[in-house]
Amino acid sequence: MHVAIPLYDGFTALDAVGPYTTLAYAPGVKVTFVAPERGPVDDDRGTLTITATATYAELPDPDVVLVPGGFGTIAALSDQALVRWIAAAGGQARWTTSVCSGSLLLGAAGLLQGRKATSHWAVLDQLAEYGAEAVSERVVVDGTVVTAAGVSAGIDMGLTLLARASDVETAEAVQLLMEYDPEPPFNAGSLKTAPEGTLERAMALFG
């Protein structure tokens, strides 16, 4: 199974690296980072780069398309080369997936029409603009489209996808290998549980 992760300036590193790590550990899975040209692409902090080892043209038909989100997503919506590649590759892929605001790029590519999907809470309502039914859940599976909520949910999405594309036993083995047994130090990871004032402080970080 060949997984392609498109990179663009301002993607969130964990959106890409979380599911990459989950899937890359599995037997029979190859993961390739793609971009318009081969070379380094900066994340949304501008301090970490991931190297794209293939161009869009070199990988037009992966088995899985996995689109990360990030602070650069809004600008990326105007990147016609990226959106066209997602539309073409995702339209024929066995699985089409996203993490965080990457689902907006799936929407812009016309792949969410009439489907249930999720995204980061800050942009969840924007999914309706692309004909999707926004669902506030960690991972949403609708046919061959799998979307994840914000950032860390990409690991959950990777395990969910692995269980469906391979089997539950493989996904469980990868989860144990990663020692993915989250016990967050604070109960502030959801709009439903975050203490008063946390939302305002989180929104300030967008600046």
> Domain holding 101: CATH number?
3.40.50.880
- Is 193 domain-assigned? no
Is residue 93 in a domain?
Answer: yes
Q: Is 178 exposed, middle or buried (0-12, 13-18, 19+ CB in 10 A)?
A: middle
Which sequence positions are flagged as catalytic?
Answer: 100
Residue 205 inside a domain? The answer is no
Q: Is residue 135 domain-resident?
A: yes
DSSP assignments along 118-176, one per residue: ---TTTGGGGGGGT-EE--SSEEEETTEEEE-STTHHHHHHHHHHHHHT-HHHHHHHHH
| Residue 55 structural domain | 2-182
Q: What is the pLDDT of residue 206?
A: 81
H or E segment to which residue 98 belongs: strand 95-99
Predicted pLDDT at 207: 64
What is the domain count for the chain? 1
Distances (CA, A) of 195 to 13, 60, 112, 169, 198: 26, 45, 33, 37, 6
d(Cα 173, Cα 169) in Å, to the nearest integer?
A: 6
pLDDT score for 204: 93
Residues 91-149 pLDDT 10s: 999 999 999 999 999 999 999 999 999 999 999 999 999 999 999 999 999 999 999 99
Asked if residue 203 is part of any domain, the answer here is: no
Classify residue 192: in a domain, yes or no. no
Is 187 inside a domain boundary? Answer: no
Question: Is 141 a domain residue?
Answer: yes
Low-confidence residues in the chain, pLDDT < 70: 207
Q: What is the pLDDT of residue 113?
A: 98
